[in-house]
Amino acid sequence: MGNHWAILACAVALCGCPTVDLGDTPPDIGQCNPTKGQAYFVSTIEPQFLKITDTANGCARSTSCHLNAHGLTLKTNPVDDAANYRITQQYLNCGQPQASELLTKPLKGIDAHGGGDLFADMSDPAVQAFLAWFQ
């Protein structure tokens, strides 16, 4: 009779939940991915908001800016769109885009920005382009 219980216990254990392979963990799990994604980042955010190719006014205008010195280290020589997208994701807040550090740092009067205030207020076209990224 003891063997019957052992066999029943093994049968129950073997009938547990099936194992499901979900594949590899995506590298950007938990990071903010704005609705318009990387394509909008490349076509609009990089040229209008970050201006990484603008050597006079862009975010990568000198090596003391966002080339090497800060956490937001942009890849500019050559420009690496995919890497820059992944880097900026760390500074986004998908739940409250207007609270994204990528926006609050250069926006006047919110967070201190070593490069100064780049956008006077929320009505700036670059700020509106940034917010549209999430819609």
Whole-number Å distance between alpha carbons of 68 and 26:
27
- Over residues 51-79, the pLDDT tens digits come to 888 777 777 666 566 555 556 788 888 88
Do you know the residue count of the chain? 135
Structure tokens at 113: 């920005």
Total Cβ atoms within 10 A of residue 78: 6
Mean pLDDT of 101-123: 84
Q: Of 81, 77, 79, which is closest to residue 38 (Cα–Cα)?
A: 81
Provide the residue type at 21 as one letter. Answer: D
Q: Of 46, 32, 52, which is closest to residue 115 (Cα–Cα)?
A: 52
- Over residues 6-50, the pLDDT tens digits come to 666 655 565 655 666 666 555 556 689 999 999 999 999 999 998
Q: Of 73, 130, 75, which is closest to residue 98 (Cα–Cα)?
A: 130
